Amino acid sequence: MASYKSWLKAARLRTLPLSLSGIIVGSSLAYAENQFNGWIFLLASLTTVGFQVVSNFANDYGDGVKGTDNADRVGPTRALQSGDISPKQMLKAIKIASILTFVLALGLIILAFGKTHFKYVFLFIGFGIASIVAALKYTMGKKAYGYSGYGDVFVFLFFGLLGVCGSYFLYTKSLHYSVFLPSFTIGLLSTAVLNLNNMRDQVSDKKAEKRTLVVKIGNEFAKYYHYYLLGASFLFALWYTAINLEKPSQFLFLGAYVFIFRHFKVVYDNENPEKLDPELKKLALSTFLFALLFALGLMI
């Protein structure tokens, strides 16, 4: 039987701060409008963590059974790859985590909308189902979209738009265009994390016929794409702040970009994608820092 440490490793706890970034930003936007609810924030955070764990388990399983996780892979050894967890055990864990996460999502939806806004219940149940399906289909199955180069699109949509705009809507039951600007920032930074991961794994992914966007366009263009993702994320955050400026503290998020632009230079100078692995954690934590500073800037 797999050990407790093996399951923690498979859950990839280091990915959780990135997944929470959208919830933090969306919740802070609602807080700025005096519509924050602590219970919604708690359940939204738990649900998001649940989706991320399902995704991590599914990615481990999908890449493991396809043989993508092999000796050529640069990153940390996965659970199936190492033999710590069997495919059967992982598949069972995916089912259990999916059910628990969906129950959390139902609780969140009922708490947010109840009987007063019942028309939104089915819409968000649909979002919940779509999130679980997206988590599973990234690497699992014959038509896994992560193997066709569409991972970037789904990360942008689910981490950015759904994470920020969806959480904001849970509080306010409304949506205005300026909310999309910080959601674009989170979506672009999250996509940059995925792009960095795919740059690192380009050689092994190509051998395994995992046609990520990086495999399709090559490392040189992937670096330019990375620059655009980071630069555009900054411009959208600055745009939102400029049109909603009320106090200097709203520029606190610039502190995160000190680290993000330092990361930009590392990628620019890099000539060996395999050495980019340490930057994954740095960029993910910088995105989380952006979310915290952005939220703090609105709240103080």
> Structurally, how many domains does the chain consist of?
1
Residue 4 belongs to a domain: no
Residue 253 belongs to a domain: yes
Contact predicate 5/145, CB 8 Å: no
Residue 242 belongs to a domain: yes
End-to-end CA distance of the chain: 49
Contact predicate 163/185, CB 8 Å: no
pLDDT tens digits for 137-152? Answer: 988 878 888 888 899 9
Q: What is the 3-state secondary structure (H, E, C) of the chain?
A: CCCHHHHHHHHCHHHHHHHHHHHHHHHHHHHHCCCCCHHHHHHHHHHHHHHHHHHHHHHHHHHHHHCCCCCCCCCCCCHHHHCCCCHHHHHHHHHHHHHHHHHHHHHHHHHHHCCCCCHHHHHHHHHHHHHHHHHHHCCCCCCCHHHCCCHHHHHHHHHHHHHHHHHHHHHHCCCCHHHHHHHHHHHHHHHHHHHHHHHHCHHHHHHCCCCCHHHHHHHHHHHHHHHHHHHHHHHHHHHHHHHCCCCHHHHCCHHHHHHHHHHHHHHHHCCCHHHHHHHHHHHHHHHHHHHHHHHHHHHC
Burial class (CB in 10 A: 0-12, 13-18, 19+), 222: buried
**Interatomic CA distance for residues 206 and 300, integer angstroms:** 48
Residue 2 belongs to a domain: no
What pLDDT was estimated at residue 79? 75
**Interatomic CA distance for residues 64 and 91, integer angstroms:** 11
- Full residue range of the structural domain in which residue 63 is found: 15-299
Contact predicate 93/110, CB 8 Å: no
Burial class (CB in 10 A: 0-12, 13-18, 19+), 286: buried
Closest CA relative to residue 24, chosen from 297, 300, 298, 295: 295
**Phi/psi of residue 134, each to 5°?**
-65, -40
What pLDDT was estimated at residue 2? 65
- For the chain, residues with pLDDT lower than 70 are 1-2, 67-77
Residue 9 belongs to a domain: no
Residue 1 belongs to a domain: no
- Model pTM? 0.94
Residue 7 belongs to a domain: no
What pLDDT was estimated at residue 206? 87
Residue 247 to residues 28, 182, 288, Cα–Cα distance (Å)? 15, 17, 22
What pLDDT was estimated at residue 66? 73
Contact predicate 25/180, CB 8 Å: no
What pLDDT was estimated at residue 204? 83
What pLDDT was estimated at residue 1? 56
Residue 176 belongs to a domain: yes
pLDDT tens digits for 100-109? Answer: 999 999 999 9
Q: Which two tokens stand for residue 81?
A: 């790859």
